[in-house]
Amino acid sequence: MTFNTRLAQRFNALFFIAACAISTGAIGQNSINYLVTTEQVRAELMAHAPDGVDPGKTVWVGLQLAHQPHWHTYWKNSGDSGQPTTLEWKLPPGVLAGDIAWPVPQKLPIGNLANYGYEGTVLLPVPLTITPDFKPSALSPELEIKLQASWLVCKLECVPQDGEFVLRIPVRSSTGINGAQFDAAFKASPKPLKDAGSIQIKDHTLYVSVAGLPTSLQGKILDFFPETPEVIETAAQWTQSWQGAVWTAAVPISKQRSASPEVMPLVLAGVAGKERLGFTVQTKVSGNWPAMAPLGGAAATPANVSPSAASAPVGAAANLPTSLWLALLGALLGGMILNLMPCVFPVLAIKVVGFARHGTNQRRQRVGGLAYSAGVVLSFVALGALMLALRGAGEQLGWGFQLQSPAVVAALAVLFTVIGLNLAGLFEFGQFVPSSVALLEAKNPSVDAFLSGILAVVIASPCTAPFMGASLGLALALPAAQALAIFAAIGVGMALPYLAASWSPALARLLPRPGAWMDTFRHAMAFPMFATVVWLVWVLGQQSGIDGATALLALLLALALMIWAFGLRGRGRFFVATFSIAVLALLTVAIGQNVTKLSENPDTATSTALWQPWAPGKVDQVLATGVPVFVDFTAAWCVTCQYNKKTTLANAEVLADFAARKVTLLRADWTRRDPAITAALAQLGRNGVPVYVLYQTGRAPVVLSEILSVSEVHKALESL
């Protein structure tokens, strides 16, 4: 080989390497897995950083969805069906993601329904704020962006899809390669109007009035998109007109409305020349919203509720008392049965200790019963009011929503650990409070009873007992005062057995007199508390992964060490207590964030050979093939759900019956907050778990009992 030949080969190799480097630099993105392609959609993660990646700068990223002809995805309010695209970012410290700058959607008629979404190609831009806390690596100065995206793409059928994307942007250079796409997306995004609009409610109609629109749109027909879902009749014919420079419209309210907002953000869009303009306006609502109809209708009649109770027309004033009284009765019975749920057993253990402590002192028993009942009822009302307020603000929440938060689960684990250590005799609360407070507590044992009532509701609220499901679902469709009455009825039902027992002289005579045996009994009652901690740690593990559960166990161990140290006596107490506080503080700083950090790969919805994960539209997709579907709406924090899963749903005869009838089994895991599952439960007239539903083509869904039995499943399957 000649010298010239070797020189040419080396030159070609260097040229190839340089070309690759130039190409990478020109794109401005060292990208890995930035593209996902399916038969319906081409999804690409894009970035736009013309000013570089420096503190104080804004970097734009976005998911571009290129649809095949006749396929579409959805806007933030999907309309009568569908599900919005969701973007979950994983970013370095010091980089903050904003909300999606949604482009103006299209109205997509489907039969007698209408959806809001996008066809063709759409880019969903999101701003990233670079703060001074962002510290890129010196060896690899890049901004690494990770995205977990989920979208529902539909034509006549719907296909849920998702993708994981990774993109790396060099910090010391700018990129404008996707500038045209982002400029088009910014142009397609609605602009805020300075003038606020108004909405007046009259006769099941929203009378909308908006001023301040540009003169180029005056006199034109405008598209109307409410950001609040399930408020208007999306596909209905409605009128609009111009009163000078003021645009007005009369929009019918949905008969299945699920929200009563005081402020409704709207998007108005119209064509001026060849350009489509969009504008956002905040409209304040005045007037009284009409009563909401029951969710789910006759198609969602629960198997354990009479048809008259489930189908009573709430919207009709003449029939409202009947349905309300039935709901109150169901709530009362459900609250009483709630005392038999496994999740309430630890609190009942505390009440048994209270009974034994008061012995034959009938007055204390009665006062304690009243205080406990007050704590239960007031807590149910407060929890119900909080849920109604959050739902009115647009949050998709259901019963037991507090245990969807890892922080709440961890706090309850800490609380029950402290109670367990107290019952076990490791410490007394009087050691950590002033003597005056301890004396006040001793003179007022009713305070303990009241607090135990609150604790009972906190731990029992994730459970849904028989008769409670339909009542809770109906509560969300009623005015606030009537809804709170249902929550109060659940509390009365739960407190009633204990209240009756505390006022029964016969029971007081059966109780043994206080004595030394009470210390042994009290210590034994610590173990139900620790069992609850085990359950809560397991729940947290479903939400935050093994790292989160391990971190919580380490913190609980350090907490127990600190409590033990403060109970020591002698010269070494100060040193041991200081050491224990330092250990707890160090662990909190080092691993505390793992407790509340949601796991990237939750294993709560994994599929098995029998069960597949539920997804929006999947039931309809399977039913379209003529195959029946059974859905298990469950959650890790729902003890009843886990009991049914390990018994009835794991029964060999039940599984054989499912297989013989070729039933597709889906599991909708609500351990984390999931608006799609919340909406699916609402369509069934429920807002808590467990819920078990059998679907078959051409028939109404069959909702089974919360306490699921083998015979009930077999009986439901006989109809197939």
Condensed to tens digits (0 to 9), the pLDDT of residues 98-118 reads: 889 999 999 988 766 788 999
Tens digit of pLDDT for each residue in 474-529? 666 567 788 788 888 888 888 888 788 777 766 656 665 666 666 787 788 788 88
| Rg (alpha carbons) of the chain, rounded to whole number | 30
Report the predicted TM-score, pTM, of the whole model to 2 decimal places.
0.44
The pLDDT-based confidence of 30 (bands split at 50, 70, 90) is: very low
Q: Could you tell me which of 120, 95, 130 has the C-alpha nearest to residue 181? A: 120
- For the cut 60, the answer to whether the pLDDT of residue 321 exceeds it is no
Cα distances from 179 to residues 35, 63, 145, 175, 259, in angstroms, run 18, 14, 18, 8, 39
E strand or H helix at 684? none
Average confidence score pLDDT of the chain:
78
Q: Which amino acid is at 284?
A: K
Looking at residue 513, what is its pLDDT? 63
Q: What are phi and psi of 409, to 5 degrees?
A: -60, -45
Which residues, in sequence order, are bridge partners of residue 668? 633
CA distance 543 to 598: 6
Cβ atoms of 153 and 71 closer than 8 Å: yes
Return the CATH fold of 611-717: Glutaredoxin (3.40.30)
The model's confidence at residue 667, banded by pLDDT at 50, 70 and 90, is very high
Specify whether the CB–CB gap between 52 and 128 falls below 8 A. Answer: no
Q: 53-57, 199-203, 509-513, 654-658: which has the minimum mean pLDDT?
A: 509-513
Residue 654 confidence (pLDDT) above 90: yes
| Interaxial angle between packed helices 480-502 and 446-460, expressed in degrees from 0 to 180 and rounded to the nearest 10 | 120
Q: What is the mean pLDDT of residues 403-407?
A: 77
Are 644 and 691 within 8 A, CB to CB?
A: no
Most confident of 16-30, 359-373, 423-437, 539-553: 539-553
Asked if 161 and 152 touch (Cβ cutoff 8 Å), the reply is yes
Domain 611-717 in the same topology as domain 28-172: no
pLDDT at 25 over 80: no
Q: In whole angstroms, what is the distance from residue 332 CA to residue 233 CA?
A: 35
Of 35, 149, 3, which Cα lies nearest the Cα of 89? 149
Closest listed residue to residue 400, CA positions, set 448, 468, 348: 468
List, in sequence order, every beta strand (DSSP E) within 459-554.
none
- Under 8 Å between Cβ of 478 and 292: yes
113, β-bridge pairs: 110
Q: How confident is the model at residue 3 (pLDDT cuts 50, 70, 90)?
A: very low
C-alpha–C-alpha distance, residues 719 and 151, integer Å: 35
Token duo for residue 679: 């909406």
Q: How far, in Å, are 413, 527, 582, 589, 591 from residue 553 at the CA level? A: 9, 17, 17, 15, 11
Which residues lie closer than 8 Å to 71 by C-beta, 6 or more apart? 40, 41, 119, 153, 154, 155
Q: How many residues does the chain have?
A: 720
Structure tokens at 218: 């005056």
Instruction: List the structure tokens of 265.
Output: 């953000």
Model pLDDT for residues 85-94, shown as the tens digit of each residue: 999 999 988 8
Domain boundaries, the chain: 28-172, 192-286, 297-307+317-596, 611-717
What is the layout of strands, in order, in the sheet containing 142-154? 30-32, 158-170, 142-154, 86-90
Q: Which of 7, 21, 18, 64 is nearest to 41 (CA)?
A: 64
The predicted-structure confidence for 192-233, as pLDDT tens digits, reads as follows: 888 878 999 988 899 999 998 988 888 888 998 999 888 888
* Degrees to nearest 5, angle at CA 641 with 637 and 643: 110
CA 3 vs CA 13, 14, 17, 137, 170: distances in Å: 16, 17, 21, 43, 39
pLDDT on residue 119: 93
**Helix then strand then coil, % of the chain, to nearest 5:** 45, 25, 35
> Rounded to an integer, what distance in angstroms lies between the CA atom of residue 341 and that of residue 464?
9
Tokens of 404: 């969807």
Please say if the pLDDT value at position 286 is more than 80. yes
Question: Among the CATH numbers 2.102.10, 3.30.2320, 1.10.3210, 2.60.40, which is that of 192-286?
Answer: 2.60.40
Under a CB-based contact definition with an 8 Å cutoff, are residues 614 and 677 in contact? Answer: yes
CATH topology for 28-172 is: Immunoglobulin-like (2.60.40)
Q: For residue 476, what is the DSSP state?
A: T
Q: Which two tokens stand for residue 222?
A: 């405008």
CA end-to-end distance (rounded Å), the chain: 80
Structure tokens at 513: 């007199």
Q: Report whether 702 contacts 693 (CB < 8 A).
A: yes
Closest CA to 222 of 279, 178, 171, 181: 279
Quote the CA–CA distance of 236 and 64 in Å, as a whole number: 31
Selected residue with higher pLDDT from 500 and 308: 500
What the block records as the tokens of 292 is 């909401």
